[in-house]
Amino acid sequence: MGIVPHNAGGFDSIRDAALIYAANELEPIQTRLAQLNEWIGDEVIRFKYYELTAYQ
């Protein structure tokens, strides 16, 4: 993702940037990798739903 700028041209939110990254980058890769299950004929790979957690 890189560094998220806090100016008018940036996302202004690391949370928003992370969610957009997950939707545009991670999910398509996970979808392609999950197709291995069909090719192999068994569930050998699965992914957890991407969620952000708050660190305390």
Q: With a cut of 50, list the residues of the chain below it in pLDDT.
A: 56
Task: Say what the pLDDT of residue 10 is.
Answer: 57
Task: Say what the pLDDT of residue 14 is.
Answer: 78
Q: Per the domain annotation, does 33 fall within a domain?
A: yes
Q: Per the domain annotation, does 35 fall within a domain?
A: yes
Q: pTM here?
A: 0.66
Q: Max alpha carbon distance in the chain (Å)?
A: 49
Residue span of the structural domain in which 40 resides:
22-47
Q: Per the domain annotation, does 36 fall within a domain?
A: yes
| The total number of structural domains that make up the chain | 1
Q: Per the domain annotation, does 29 fall within a domain?
A: yes
Task: Say what the pLDDT of residue 55 is.
Answer: 62
Reading phi first (left if > 0) and then psi (alpha if -120 to 50, else beta), residue 39 is in alpha
Q: Per the domain annotation, does 41 fall within a domain?
A: yes
Residue 21, Cβ neighbours under 10 Å: how many? 14
